Structure 1
Amino acid sequence: MRNLRHTTFDWLITQGVAEGTAKYLNMLILLIGLSLVALIVDYVTKRILWRFSAGVAKRTKTNFDDILITNKLPRNIAHIIPLIILIEFVPDVFADFQYFETIVEKTLKVIAILLTLKIIRSFFNSIKDYLKTLPRYKDKPIDSYIQIFMIFAWVLGVFAIFSILTGITFLNFAISLGTASAVILLIFKDTILGFVASIQVSINDMVRIGDWITFEKYGADGDVIEINLATVKVQNWDKTITTIPTYALISDSFKNWRGMMNSGGRRIKRSVIIKTSTIKFLTDFDIERFKKIELIDEYIEQRSKEIKKFNTDNGVDKSILINGRNLTNFGVFRKYLQTYMDNHSAINKDMTLMVRQLEPTPQGIPMEIYAFSSDIRWQNYEYIMADIFDHVLASVGFFDLEIYELAIANTD
């Protein structure tokens, strides 16, 4: 190229071309020639690297090299050689045009920095995609880590570009930005908050990909499908996508259902309100009638003997039912529900299981079932809970009890 620079110019002069015109034509011819050489080298290099990388990928067992090809890393690397050729021979092309030479050299150096960033991005994206194929990293916020690395890379790249364009050394340019730090912090406030939040979320293991979270403030109720530096994406149960700022996970309150999912049981906590006016002591006739209920026949038999013995030993006057010790239909019903839950095949017996009486309300007395289903899948959980309370609601009447229902006055 250096010999051609003079040869082409001399030939144009011998052809009677004016010296000024010869310089421009010489530059144009050399520029076209250099561009063609760069394009050819680029094409050949890409083909060679692609065939080489594809061959290596076929022979290896790991899929990391396949991911590198998918993210176009070999293709981006192939651009390096033609770019080096352009940077090397541009001074010869613009030897007579110092001003253009400076502009083109700076442009090529900026392109070199951008190409380097592109290669780095392809490499990090490949690492991200590969780690997501490993079971131990599937639920980790890999996107956040990659974005952090890329932010640092882009910051350094932008500094280098400005340094090239302004002629200021990289170190002096970085120092000069210190005076504008307040403005920079303001511009990158969300990014900085997201960066800090990503670190805290990761260290404290607050959220993983695949976790079911409920975030009422943002209307999110579903599975986490992506965690990156700025946002967390949640796919709600109606298949809509809710985007939550990452820093909101540490500044606001949300519910993560992972503990329930890992516990082997999903909580059932629901009550029915019993009308207070239907609660009564049991007569001998009631006791004999309730003995026919198989789940509690032994309990009633045993308790009746204990109560009768206590009342006899203490000379209790049973002409009035309230005297002494007695069974109530409400207490027997609670025991019936406890026994029913103890024998229910879909309830996890290794976790808390109880039927309890809550504080009376103006509507009546709540009878609450507190237990955990052994199947945590939503659809099955709802079926189990519905099956239990179908039985509860249907069995109330057998104990001479009634469930509170709000009566609406007829205004007609």
Structure 2
Amino acid sequence: MSGLECKLFDYLIENGFSESWAQTLNMLGLLLVLLIILFIVDYITRKILVSAFSQFALVSKSNFDDLLVANKVPRNVAHIIPLLIAIRFVPEIFIDFPNFEDVFERGLQVFAIILILWIVRSSLNALKDYLKTLPHFKDKPIDSYIQVFMIFSWIGGIMSAIAIITGIEFIKFVTGLGAISAVIILVFKDTIMGFVASIQVSINDMVRIGDWITFEKYGADGDVIEINLATVKVQNFDKTITTIPTYALISDSFKNWRGMTNSEGRRIKRALYIKQTGVKYLTDTEVEKLKSIHLLTAYLESRQADINTYNNTNSVDKNLLLNGRNLSNLGVFRKYIDTYLKQHSAVNKDMMIMARQLAPTTQGIPLEIYAFSSDKRWENYEYIMSDIFDHLIAALPYFDLEIFELPSQGSFKHNS
């Protein structure tokens, strides 16, 4: 370009321009020519690189190259050649304007730093997207690590750019930052806490993308859809999004349902509250009547035989039902629940099945069902649990038992 520079300058002098005007117009003309060349070179280089990557992606078995194109890595790399051309010819264009030359050279150096950061960011985004397609990495907090690396990269880039603009050596500039390190730590407190939390969450395998978690403090109850440096995003079952600080997973308590999801069943734990006044011993006539319930026939015959043997052996006076051993309607109903659950097709027989009586309360005697449904899907789980309790509530009158419930206004009207 030096030959073009001389010809343009000589042409302006020959046409009566002063030397200063000739130098200025010569510089502006050469700068315009350089900008046009840079635009053309950038356009051609970008087209060639993008086309080459796209063609390679078509024949490649891996999808990593497709992700490089999608994240604009070739487009960003293409800017390197025009930048090198600009760095090469700027000194010649501004040879008569050393102050402008210094400004433009520093500007190009700053742009080079920004371009490097663009390339690094787009490459890391492509790597992040690729890792998420792999089974071993798709549930890991890759976003957090990418963000941490980019934060330090941007900090280093910004400090380098400031050092270039101010003319201070980078080492001296970084050393000077020690005086304000406390302020920097305060500003980036959440980022630092999030970084530490992300590492702990990943190492301890506390949360993965796709896990169902319940975090009552933040009103979260749904699936984890994103884990990054500062936040964890949870899509609740009503399709709303709850954002939780990453460090809250370490400092607060939450429930992860992964153990249930990976198990062989989903727990059913619910109680029927039985009126205490309805509990009674069963007479022989009532026991005979309950034998017609198929699930209890064998149990009642065996149990009644054992009780009669004990009472006869110990000469128990059965004129008073309290004496000796007896069957109660609540105990028989509890056995019925246990037998019913063990033959229910939707209950997992390999996991715990139990009908237990809890301590009496002011609302009655809690009779709790503890079992696991074979189907863990939410809608099917709710259907199975409802089906079980529909049956048990309807079965209660056959045992002369009632569920406790607070009286309503209609109850008082009926009594009156």
Shorter-chain TM-score category? over 0.9
Q: Which amino acid aligns with 2:227?
A: I
Q: Which amino acid aligns with 1:11?
A: Y
> Which position in structure 2 is the counterpart of 1:88?
88
- Of 119-128 and 168-177, the range deviating more from structure 2: 168-177
Distance in structure 2 (CA, Å) of the matches to 1:363 and 1:110: 74
Report the AA paired with residue 272 of structure 1: L
Q: Which residue identity lines up with residue 384 of structure 2 in the other structure?
A: I
Q: Deviations over 1:27-61 (max 9, x none)?
A: 01110011111111111111111121112111211
Alignment of 1:306-345 (within 5 A): 306-345=306-345
Superimposed CA distance per residue, residues 368-412 of structure 1 (whole angstroms, 9 cap, x where no aligned partner): 001111111100000000000000100000001111111146599
Q: TM-score with structure 1 length normalisation? A: 0.98
SS state of the match for residue 136, structure 1? coil
Unaligned runs of 5+ in 2: none
Could you say what secondary structure the match of 2:48 adopts? Answer: helix
Letter in 2 for 1:404: F
Matches within 5 A, 1:215-254: 215-254=215-254
3-state SS in 2 of match to 1:103:
helix
Task: Give the equivalent residue in structure 2 for 1:185.
Answer: 185
Query: Equivalent residue for 2:137?
Result: 137
Partner of 2:97: 97
Q: Secondary structure at the match of 2:214?
A: strand
Aligned to 1:350: 350
Question: Hey, what's the Cα distance between the residues in 1 that align with 2:407 and 2:37?
Answer: 90
| Distance (whole Å) between structure 2 residues aligned to residue 80 and residue 181 of structure 1 | 34
State how many pairs are aligned: 412
Aligned counterparts of 1:293 and 1:407: Cα–Cα separation in 2 = 31
1:80 counterpart letter in structure 2: I
In 1: Cα distance, 2:264 partner to 2:237 partner = 21
Counterpart residue type for residue 293 of structure 2: I
Shift of 1:279: 0.6
Counterpart for residue 280 of structure 2: 280
Alpha-carbon distance in 1 for matches of 2:157, 2:398: 79
Cα distance between partner residues in 1 of 2:199 and 2:177 = 26
Write the deviation string for residues 303-340 of structure 1: whole angstroms up to 9, x where unpaired: 10000000101111111111111111110000000000
Whether 2:120 is the aligned partner of 1:120: answer yes
Question: Aligned partners of 1:197, 1:137: CA distance in 2, in Å?
Answer: 18
Q: Give the aligned residue type for 1:16.
A: G
**Secondary structure in 2 aligned to 1:349?**
coil
Moved more, 14-23 or 299-308: 14-23
Partner of 1:63: 63
2:56 alignment partner, SS class: helix
Partners in 2 of 1:41 and 1:363 — Cα distance?
83
CA shift for structure 1 position 200: 0.7
Q: How far apart are the structure 2 equivalents of 1:366 and 1:52?
A: 72
Q: Secondary structure at the residue paired with 2:86?
A: helix
**2:297 counterpart of 1:297:** yes
Aligned counterparts of 1:296 and 1:157: Cα–Cα separation in 2: 78
* Structure-2 residue corresponding to 1:157: 157
State whether structure 2 residue 264 is matched by structure 1 residue 264. Answer: yes
In the alignment, what sits opposite 1:73?
73
CA distance in 1, matches of 2:207, 2:158: 33
The residue aligned with 1:39 is 39
Q: How far apart are residue 363 of structure 1 and its match? A: 2.2
Deviation at 1:2, TM superposition (A): 2.1
1:136 alignment partner AA: H
Separation in 1 of the partners of 2:75 and 2:265?
51
Give the match for residue 106 of structure 2. 106
Moved runs in structure 1, 4+ residues, more than 4 A? 409-412
Structure 1 residue 178: deviation in Å?
1.0
Task: Quote how far apart the aligned CAs of 1:136 are.
Answer: 1.7
Specify the code of the residue in structure 1 equivalent to 2:392. Answer: V
- In structure 1, what residue type is equivalent to 2:342? D
Indicate the SS of the match to 2:136. Answer: helix
Distance (whole Å) between structure 2 residues aligned to residue 153 and residue 344 of structure 1:
60
Question: Following the alignment from structure 1 to structure 2, what is the Cα–Cα distance between the partners of residues 205 and 300?
Answer: 51
2:27 alignment partner AA: M
Farther off after superposition, 165-174 or 230-239: 165-174
The one-letter code sitting in structure 2 at the alignment partner of 1:349 is K
Cα displacement (A) at 1:174: 1.1
